[in-house]
Amino acid sequence: MPVRIVQVDAFTSKPYAGNPAAVCVLQAAAEDVWMRNVASEMNLSETAFLHREHDGYRLRWFTPAVEVDLCGHATLASAHVLWADGHLPPDEAAVFYTRSGKLTCIQNNGWIEMDFPAKVCERAEPPKQLAEALGAPMRWIGRNQFDYLVELADEDAVRELKPNHQLLGQLPVRGVIVCARSHAYDFISRFFAPGSGIDEDPVTGSAHCALAPYWADHLGKAEMTAYQASPRGGIVKVRVEGDRVKLSGQAVTILIGELLA
């Protein structure tokens, strides 16, 4: 029986920008091997699979190479599909049960707001190959359970960075977040995860679970607007509330199809 699959550009209001994710809303749980094969076939940074569970949906995320514990843009895309395809009424929250616990999304004036756990980074001694891989002076280095977070000198350093992906892929983390203060936004960032099968992720919601508390501390404010400066680019609004981070973005459906196998 064919399975409907929807491709969504997340953290953008226009097609062919932001971060693309594929979404499959299933009737029941699927086999891991099938989900891995679909994610590999789609070859996007993330493919999301969800099915009804309790008062919400069980949600899992796969890169072309691995299953991940937390993904912002594919959660945003999943909530968008639930509302756009009529699985949920517009005023009902999208509730997801995931490897990172319960996540909730609501619609708010044309934006989708996600309630995620904060992933605070603690100052860390970087491995030698991190500096070698980035090839840029590092102002601050931290680490949480997923990633290294590196503050660079300024916005230009982030935009112009050309890291060695082979070296980054050898680090014992999901990925590396680089960031700096910005003129047009509160801060900008980029995210590299070659070890997870993605050299550079276009817009990474989960990275902002670390970026938001870091910059809230440095800028002295809880609500900020961020820009991820990948070639596709995307805007993420963030608000820190205790040990939670509210991430807001927009989304656009660009493709609807059927999986025949």
Using H for helix, E for strand and C for coil, what is the string for the chain? CCEEEEEEEECCCCCCCCEEEEEEECCCCCCHHHHHHHHHHHCCCEEEEEEEECCEEEEEEECCCCEECCCHHHHHHHHHHHHHCCCCCCCCCEEEEECCEEEEEEEECCEEEEEEECCCCEECCCCHHHHHHHCCCEEEEEECCCEEEEEECCHHHHHHCCCCHHHHCCCCCCEEEEEEECCCCCEEEEEEEHHHCEEEECCCCCCHHHHHHHHHHHHCCCEEEEEECCCCCEEEEEEEECCEEEEEECEEEEEEEEECC
Q: What percent of the chain has pLDDT over 70?
A: 100
Catalytic positions: 46
Class of domain 3-117+248-259: alpha beta
Q: What pLDDT, in 10s, does the model give residues 71-101?
A: 999 999 999 999 999 999 999 999 999 999 9
Architecture of domain 122-241 in CATH? Roll (3.10)
pLDDT at 176: 97
Decide if 3-117+248-259 and 122-241 have a common fold: yes
- Taking the domains of the chain in order of start, what are their residue ranges? 3-117+248-259, 122-241
Assign 197 a pLDDT band (cuts: 50, 70, 90).
confident
pLDDT at 139: 96
pLDDT at 22: 98
pLDDT at 234: 95
Kindly state the average pLDDT of the residues 215-232.
97
Whole-structure pTM value: 0.91
pLDDT at 231: 94
